[in-house]
Amino acid sequence: MQFMHDPAAIEARSMALIEELVKDLAFGPEEKAIVKRVIHASGDPEYGELVSFHPESVARGLAALQRGAPIFTDVQMVAAGINKKAAGRLGCTVHCAIGEDAVAGLARREGITRAMAAFRRWGQGLQDSLVVIGNAPTALFEVLRLHREEGITPALVVGVPVGFVGAAEAKEALRQSSLPYITVVGRKGGSPIAASIVNSLLYLLQPER
């Protein structure tokens, strides 16, 4: 069986095929680069119609990464998918607290999910950061509450939780908020999608990678 086995060639060919799928979509060049990376990560061209951007999202996200803003994630799968070398070159650190004992304790005391508890504990530390949520709608609802009630404003919220309970609603609430966001309409999303969006931003700043 003949097949491609050079990683760079495979990626280049994939991106060329995806470009044909998205060439007529109404995205700017940076937005299109992000959408292409999402489609590449998912194998699903439908994302070209589902990814939604706040008008200032890309500019704010890139600026935050350039100044070394921390990246806060809801689950380890999101954290694992982010390119740590690319983030580290900009001075950005990646955080996930869902497995910490203190987070589990807070979740039990408050009767909330651990993902919610993690973001509640970070609190003011989320100011001017990148918040990246790929799994837990409850975490996104908590970030929205923190913004609404405590004025905490991340530089960018990548909010793409996946699922049938609360995911579409949380993402629609994000789109209706004043927070800069990149999200996906409907039930689709997930950790690979969240990580791919962050990696797209990192690669836009480091095209020589």
pTM score: 0.93
* Radius of gyration of the CA atoms of the chain, in A: 17
Residue 180, pLDDT > 60, answer yes
Q: Is the pLDDT of residue 116 over 80?
A: yes
What pLDDT, on the 0 to 100 scale, is given for residue 7? 75
The total of other beta-carbon atoms located within 10 Å of residue 163's CB is 15
> Is the residue at 178 inside a domain?
yes
pLDDT digit string, tens, across residues 23-66: 878 889 999 999 999 999 999 999 999 999 999 999 999 999 99
**175: in domain:** yes
| Residue 183 domain flag | yes
Closest CA to 50 of 78, 25, 23: 25
- Assigned domain for 26 exists: yes
Tell me how far CA of residue 69 lies from CA of 17, 125, 130, 177, 204, in angstroms. Answer: 33, 11, 7, 22, 16
Give me the mean pLDDT over the 190-199 stretch: 97
Mark 72-99 as b/e (b = at least 16 C-beta within 10 Å): bbbbebbbebbbeebbeeeebebebbbe
Whether residue 180 lies inside any domain: the answer is yes
- 2 within a domain of the structure (yes/no): no
188 lies in which domain range?
Answer: 7-205
pLDDT at residue number 209: 60
> What is the tally of structural domains in the chain?
1
The CATH number given to whatever domain includes residue 79 is 3.40.50.10230
Residue 42: how many CB atoms within 10 A of its CB? 17
Q: What is the mean pLDDT of residues 155-181?
A: 97
Residue 1 included in any domain: no
**Residue range 61-72, pLDDT digits in tens:** 999 999 999 999
For residue 109, name the pLDDT band (cuts at 50, 70, 90).
very high
Active site residue 5: no
Catalytic residue among 5, 40, 54, 95: 40
